[in-house]
Amino acid sequence: MSASLAPECSEAKERYDTCFINWYSEKYLRGQTKPSKECEELFEIYKTCLNKALKEKGIYDMIEEARKTGPEIRATSKR
Amino acid sequence: MVKFFETNFSYDYQWPAVTLAYFLRYPNPYSTHVVSSDTLSSFVNPETGNLHITRLHLKRGKLPASVARFIPKIKESYILERSVIDARNQRMCTESRNLDWEGVLSVVENQEYVPAADPARTDVKTIVKFESRLGHRKREEEKRGFFQGWGTSGVRASLEVVGRSRMRDGLMKSREGMKLVLEQLRERGFVGVVKEQRQGGWERWKKVWRGDHGMEEAR
């Protein structure tokens, strides 16, 4: 799995990534779309670490702005 | 926003596997310029069941000399990647855009992944839009200094030409990376992929694959 931008968050990221990929392949792709509580908890830990690092690098605001202003992606199915 | 590139491609794998590979695609031997990948958010829309994921990738810039003379200070680039997965209808849409070049050179890549007519395969449509808005933005004031003395339209033309050839090259590499991850998934499963990535054994795989990755471009 890929490294985190912030080395201090790599461990939290790896735990979350593993959880997510397991949930995605075992549940979500099989039609069980309910989010995993376990993954959400792991994500909170990872996110806290990552946001701190993004702020320290001075790129947090730039990213938040881009997330807000970018166009929405549609995923309506017309097949 | 100018659309300058559109291409169709098919992976020889089923849609679920391709979407999984999309999230596992870094690191691979074709993505050595990707320094890091982080998830910024992930949520399921309770009404639609669609999964929305936002990730941030840091890529080391290998700028060609013709561009570097215009933008000498850019060495790395943040890419914001947003994807929506509709598992019920088997459709995944992704958007990737570079952040820090915004206002100078903005490249937006949209992809749509759907099962092919042959359900053992997955079709990917890629549209790349490109924008170079030199001097069009207030927050780009400081960057404008670089471009004074160059005709803005000339700079833009240079950037567009370089952007286009780099885009083709980049798309080909990202496909090869995806194919390698897909192959690993098929042979060894998710655990095998992660193990390989952790041990950095990709060079070996690259050798195995070399000479056996003919392009299957639809057009």
The ipTM of this complex is 0.92
Q: Hey, are the CB atoms on A50 and B40 less than 8 Å from each other?
A: yes
B153/chain A closest Cα distance in angstroms: 25
- A61 within a domain of the structure (yes/no): yes
Contacts (Cβ under 8 Å, ≥6 apart) of A1: A13, A14, A17, A18, B24, B194, B197, B198
Which chain B residue lies closest to A6 (C-alpha atoms)? B36
Mean of the per-residue pLDDT values for chain B?
77
Q: Hey, are the CB atoms on A1 and B194 less than 8 Å from each other?
A: yes
Which chain A residue lies closest to B110 (C-alpha atoms)? A73
A24 neighbourhood in chain B, CB within 8 Å? 20, 23, 51
CATH topology classification for B2-218: Alpha-D-Glucose-1,6-Bisphosphate; Chain A, domain 4 (3.30.530)
Of residues A9, A22, A66, nearest to B80 (C-beta): A66
- A35 within a domain of the structure (yes/no): yes
Output B77 or B62, whichever has higher pLDDT.
B77
By three-state DSSP, how is residue B174 classified?
A: helix
**Sign (positive or negative) of CA dihedral A65, A66, A69, A74:** negative
Q: A66, A4, A11, A16: which is closest to A43 by C-alpha?
A: A16
Q: Does residue B113 surpass a pLDDT of 70?
A: yes
Highest-confidence segment of A20-24, B145-149, B158-162? A20-24
Q: Does residue B58 surpass a pLDDT of 80?
A: yes
- A57 within a domain of the structure (yes/no): yes
Say what the pTM is: 0.81
Contact B58, B96 (CB under 8 A): no
- A2 within a domain of the structure (yes/no): no
How does residue B212 score in pLDDT terms, banded at 50, 70 and 90?
very low
Q: Hey, are the CB atoms on A43 and B39 less than 8 Å from each other?
A: yes
Output B67 or A12, whichever has higher pLDDT.
A12
Structure tokens, B119: 């359900």
Q: How many residues does chain A have?
A: 79
B95 neighbourhood in chain A, CB within 8 Å? 70-71, 73
What mean pLDDT is predicted for residues A59-64? 90
Contact A26, B191 (CB under 8 A): no
A42/chain B closest Cα distance in angstroms: 12
Q: What is the pLDDT of residue B22?
A: 97
How does residue A69 score in pLDDT terms, banded at 50, 70 and 90?
low
Q: A22, A12, A21, A6: which is closest to A42 by C-alpha?
A: A12
Q: What is the pLDDT of residue B83?
A: 96
How does residue B103 score in pLDDT terms, banded at 50, 70 and 90?
low
Top residue of A24, A59, A74 to mutate, by most chain B CBs within 10 Å, is: A24
Q: Does A2 touch chain B (CB under 8 A)?
A: yes
The count of domains in chain A is 1
Q: Does A21 touch chain B (CB under 8 A)?
A: yes
Q: Which runs of E-coded beta strand occur in B91-212? A: 91-98, 106-115, 122-131
**Containing domain of residue A25, as a range?**
7-77
Q: Hey, are the CB atoms on A70 and B85 less than 8 Å from each other?
A: no
Alpha-carbon gap, residue B108 to A38, rounded angstroms? 33
CA distances from B129 to B1, B43, B62, B110 (A): 6, 27, 20, 8
- A27 within a domain of the structure (yes/no): yes
